[in-house]
Amino acid sequence: MDQSNVRPSGMERIIDYALAEKFINAQVLAIREQVGDGKVLLALSGGVDSSVVAALLIKAIGRQLVCVHVNHGLLRKGEPEQVIKVFRDEMDANLIYVDATDRFLGLLAGVADPERKRHIIGEEFIKVFAEEAAKLEGIHFLAQGTIYPDILESEKGIKAHHNVGGLPPELDFELVEPVKLLYKDEVRVVGKALGLPDGMVYRQPFPGPGLGVRCTGAITRERLEAVRESDAILREEFARNGLEGSVWQFFTIVPDYKSTGIKDGKRSFEWPVVIRAVNTRDAMSATVPDIPFPLLQHITERIVSEVAGVNRVLYDLTPKPTGTIEWE
Ligand code: XMP
């Protein structure tokens, strides 16, 4: 293994602000030394890792960092807006926002197979990013939010993580990976110390293909909106009822299936929304938390009255195994 990818045995675990500050100051110097007055490109998804790398680089080199936020149309409600607010408005980042929704949804139209969907989303993401990179001049560095578990898992061949070697070879950049020796909890402490909002630092995991794997089968705009709106209601209610920090991951799924119901005194034939909530340590296995029944009833009332095209709500009681966390 490349020795720069090995966490030194004596390396202190970053558990508090003082240690985070020490790490940040050392990285700021290291980044400045590595890139000089060069420009650095970063794909900023708004997830914890890329957000922390962005904040760290902004502190070190300001507008020499060019962030590209690609909206593939499969993000949660309010996410692209939050990225723009935090980075462009509050941190004065050099941020390029690309709304590629039509491109992605066009390619995904009629595609029902989950693996094909994932493949299309992953490939197109790289294409959009590479196109943006090609428009810019004089960029020699690429920053990535690689963290230590990504390196360990890639070494063991567990997963071909998108952060490690996922870019096409024609993008000939030198990598800047300031958090590659940190564990996730350390990245969060550093993010807090850099002033990122809690909503970003303590964000629950969100898959790269986003809501695309929660709008099962062939994605349509209407059903995707039902996923996005029901997810927003679930997140709002979990936050309001103190479950945000105690449930590991929670979201909604809208299957490509309709059932009969009654709305406004008339027969309706609409989709169900499935609520998924899980607790886990490492996502290899998971249990289903006991959500208070009155809260589930309240969420159900809100979803069927506020989300267009939905007449039923279900709670997925399945642990992993046998069910995976995501439905696709
Ligand atoms: P599963 O569904 O495999 O999910 O039990 C385990 C964890 O991984 C996340 N997940 C993904 N993350 N790209 C990602 O970046 C993906 O394609 C993907 N699929 C699942 C899932 O949200 C859960 O936290």
Per residue of the chain (328 residues), give pLDDT as tens. Answer: 788 999 999 999 999 999 999 999 999 999 999 999 999 999 999 999 999 999 999 999 999 999 999 999 999 999 999 999 999 999 999 999 999 999 999 999 999 999 999 999 999 999 999 999 999 999 999 999 999 999 998 887 665 544 444 566 666 899 999 999 999 999 999 999 999 999 999 999 999 999 999 999 999 999 999 999 999 999 999 999 999 999 999 999 999 999 999 999 999 999 999 999 999 999 999 999 999 999 999 999 999 999 999 999 999 999 999 999 999 9
Question: Ramachandran region of residue 165, left (φ > 0), alpha (ψ -120 to 50) or beta?
Answer: left
CA atoms within 13 A on the CB side of 184: 12
SS3 content of the chain, % helix, strand, coil (to 5): 45, 20, 40
pTM, two decimal places: 0.94
We find that the CATH architecture of domain 214-315 is 2-Layer Sandwich (3.30)
Cα-based distances in Å from 289 to 115, 243, 249, 303, 319: 28, 10, 10, 20, 9
- For residue 326, how far is its CA from the centre of ligand 1 (angstroms)? 6
Locate the ligand 1 atom nearest the alpha carbon of residue 204 and give its number. 24
Cα-based distances in Å from 271 to 9, 80, 144, 313, 325: 53, 27, 39, 9, 20
Model pLDDT, residue 2: 83
- For residue 43, how far is its CA from the centre of ligand 1 (angstroms)? 20
DSSP-H helix ranges across the chain: 17-35, 48-61, 79-83, 101-108, 114-135, 148-155, 184-193, 198-201, 221-240, 293-306
Domain with CATH 3.40.50.620 in the chain: 3-201
Locate the ligand 1 atom nearest the alpha carbon of residue 206 and give its number. 22
- For residue 172, how far is its CA from the centre of ligand 1 (angstroms)? 29
- Cβ of 236 less than 6 Å from ligand 1: no
**Burial letters for 238-256: b for 16+ Cβ neighbours within 10 Å, e otherwise?**
beeeebbeebbbbbbbbbe
DSSP state of 276: E
- Cβ of 325 less than 6 Å from ligand 1: yes
Model pLDDT, residue 155: 83
Closest-CA residue, ligand 1 atom 4, reads: 325
Model pLDDT, residue 169: 61
75/203 Cα distance (integer angstroms)? 13
Picking from 85, 32, 27, the residue whose alpha carbon sits closest to that of residue 62 is 32
- Cβ of 316 less than 6 Å from ligand 1: no
- Cβ of 205 less than 6 Å from ligand 1: yes
Locate the ligand 1 atom nearest the alpha carbon of residue 205 and give its number. 24
Amino acid at 220: T
- For residue 207, how far is its CA from the centre of ligand 1 (angstroms)? 5
Phi, psi for residue 12 in degrees, rounded to 5 = -70, 140
Domain with CATH 3.30.300.10 in the chain: 214-315
- For residue 260, how far is its CA from the centre of ligand 1 (angstroms)? 31
Model pLDDT, residue 231: 98
Question: Ramachandran region of residue 47, left (φ > 0), alpha (ψ -120 to 50) or beta?
Answer: beta
Locate the ligand 1 atom nearest the alpha carbon of residue 327 and give its number. 2
- For residue 18, how far is its CA from the centre of ligand 1 (angstroms)? 33
Model pLDDT, residue 163: 45
- Cβ of 118 less than 6 Å from ligand 1: yes
Fold of 3-201: Rossmann fold (3.40.50)
Yes or no: say if 203 and 190 are a contact pair by the CB < 8 Å rule.
no
Locate the ligand 1 atom nearest the alpha carbon of residue 280 and give its number. 24
- For residue 59, how far is its CA from the centre of ligand 1 (angstroms)? 31
> Which residue from 162, 214, 326, 328 has its CB within 8 A of the most atoms of ligand 1, so it is best to mutate?
326
Yes or no: say if 208 and 119 are a contact pair by the CB < 8 Å rule.
no
Model pLDDT, residue 249: 98
